[in-house]
Amino acid sequence: MIDEASKNKKSQDAQDTPQAQARKWLTELYAGNSDAKKREKFILWLNSNEANGHAFRHSLQVWKTIGMTDSAVDWLEQHVDRDPVIVLPPKPKPKFKHRLAKSPMWLSSIAASIILIVLIAVYHSPRTLEITPPAIAFNSPIGQNRSITLSDGSDVILAGNSSILVDISKDTRRIILQKGGAYFDVSHDPSRLFSVTAEHLQVRVRGTAFAVKHSADDAIKVSVQRGLVEVVDLPEQGTTDEQMLQLRANEQVRAAFNGTFITKVTQFNNETEFSWLSGRLIYDDIPLKTVVIDINRYAKKPVVILDESINDLAVTASFTFYQIDQALDGLAAAYPIILIEENERKVLAKK
């Protein structure tokens, strides 16, 4: 009985140390559920004595320097279904693990202070602390879409071989489409604008459903499935004027990478435009170069158009992600093109 009480006391003492409290604060502040009262309480704790400030800086620096251990990765794998915004990092290489095993103090510090994002801390004065979490990256592999639910409740579907950066806070919701395409079903929030930026084009909404895709000829295509969106040509550096237009359901527009609108607002077939969400690609008199861009998000081998004269060949086709090889054979049989098989790629050329 005495031994058990002694163990409990030692455990409690360990939890009350500045180091343990610092790790707890790191976890609470950056799990995304802190409020003004909690942050104020943290500032009071941080400045109550020198040991607390030193412990917090040390824990922060250790995490930034070393990263996550296998135990942290295992923990995230167990909890990923609870928090869809978590990005699983690759497990450390054996050499990295071995080095950590020789540093028990650092290992115990990290294992006890699992947090989900890298922290950047800047101290301006003893009573002022600014900590800015970076955007979280989401990527999808070649060959399949990826579904994500963001912390604000919005749903995102990444097309194959696509990438976005997500920055969501209590004041803003910002997305950057780095490559590929994505579909956004945005949760309604009048107090926070939801924006998606691709090159020099930005889409702004407060609750709707739409897709943004990199397309042929170095262009960005915006297609609205539901609601109303604002599409903005962001101003060049040194200017302040924005060119903006509105899109409603079943309307789309294309813009160059510099943000300039290169088409008028047009109508589209909803079933065809968003067929990729259900694993199918459907085209009705669409240029071959556009079809190839989509195919390359899901093909086992990249497809290259060798002859520019067939870039704008109008193609009508329908096939699933798993029927791409058969579809290419069919295109070669139905249109004046030939399909050349190479070791690392497939080539389309004029017949």
pLDDT bracket for residue 207 (50, 70, 90): confident
Q: Last residue of a domain, which of 98, 131, 164?
A: 131
Compute the distance between CA of residue 223 and CA of residue 209 in angstroms, rounded to an integer: 9
> How, if at all, do strands 201-205 and 229-233 pair?
antiparallel
Please indicate, yes or no, whether residues 154 and 103 belong to a single structural domain of this protein. Answer: no
Residue 65 lies in a domain: yes
Residue 274 lies in a domain: no
- pLDDT tens per residue, range 171-205: 889 999 999 999 999 999 989 999 999 998 999 99
Please indicate, yes or no, whether residues 117 and 152 belong to a single structural domain of this protein. Answer: no
Residue 278 vs residues 111, 168, 220: alpha-carbon distances, Å: 40, 27, 22
> Which CATH number goes with the domain that contains 336?
3.55.50.30
Q: Last residue of a domain, which of 95, 116, 131?
A: 131
Please indicate, yes or no, whether residues 235 and 332 belong to a single structural domain of this protein. Answer: no
Residues 6+ apart with CB under 8 A from 88: 73, 76, 77, 80
Average pLDDT over residues 27-35: 55
* Domain range enclosing 228: 135-268
- Neighbouring CB atoms inside 10 A of 87's CB total 14
For the chain, what is the domain count?
3
Please indicate, yes or no, whether residues 77 and 40 belong to a single structural domain of this protein. Answer: yes
> Which CATH number goes with the domain that contains 167?
2.60.120.1440
Please indicate, yes or no, whether residues 109 and 163 belong to a single structural domain of this protein. Answer: no
Please indicate, yes or no, whether residues 26 and 64 belong to a single structural domain of this protein. Answer: yes
Compute the distance between CA of residue 142 and CA of residue 128 in angstroms, rounded to an integer: 45
Residue 173 lies in a domain: yes
Residues 6+ apart with CB under 8 A from 128: none
Average pLDDT over residues 115-135: 45
Please indicate, yes or no, whether residues 24 and 105 belong to a single structural domain of this protein. Answer: yes
pTM of structure: 0.63
